[in-house]
Amino acid sequence: MHIYLQKPQDEGKPPRYYHLLLQQDLLGGWSLIREWGYQGTSGRVRRDHHATREQAETALMVARDDQLRRGYRVVFIEGEHQRT
């Protein structure tokens, strides 16, 4: 599952993006990968490990909601569980 968010362009700067991705690891755990930055540039990446998919999905939704409060808008959602 992944969610791509974008913040509108501000004062001549490119738009900002925030990408959330769930990925299963080889040991059965799950990672929430967050990438953010200005569109067209290399962004920053953070990876948080979770023991279960449910925990990782909850963390993904919390991160999504945090970014929505900061003015980001969902551009697309892709994956099995597209809950809002």
Tell me the per-residue pLDDT of 36-71, one tens digit each, with 9 for 90 and over: 999 888 899 999 999 999 999 999 999 999 999 999
Q: Which residue has the higher pLDDT, 84 or 10?
A: 10
Q: Provide the whole-model pTM.
A: 0.85
Q: Which residue has the tokens 């990446």?
A: 45
- C-alpha triplet 61, 47, 66: angle, nearest 5°: 30
Rg (CA), the chain: 13
Instruction: Give residue 13's pLDDT.
Output: 83
Query: 84 pLDDT exceeds 60?
Result: no
CATH level 2 (architecture), domain 2-78: Single Sheet (2.20)
Task: Specify the higher pLDDT residue, 44 or 10.
Answer: 44
The CA-atom distances, in angstroms, between 35 and each of 8, 11, 13, 59 are 17, 22, 18, 14
Task: Give CA torsion, residues 48, 53, 59, 60, to 10 deg.
Answer: 100
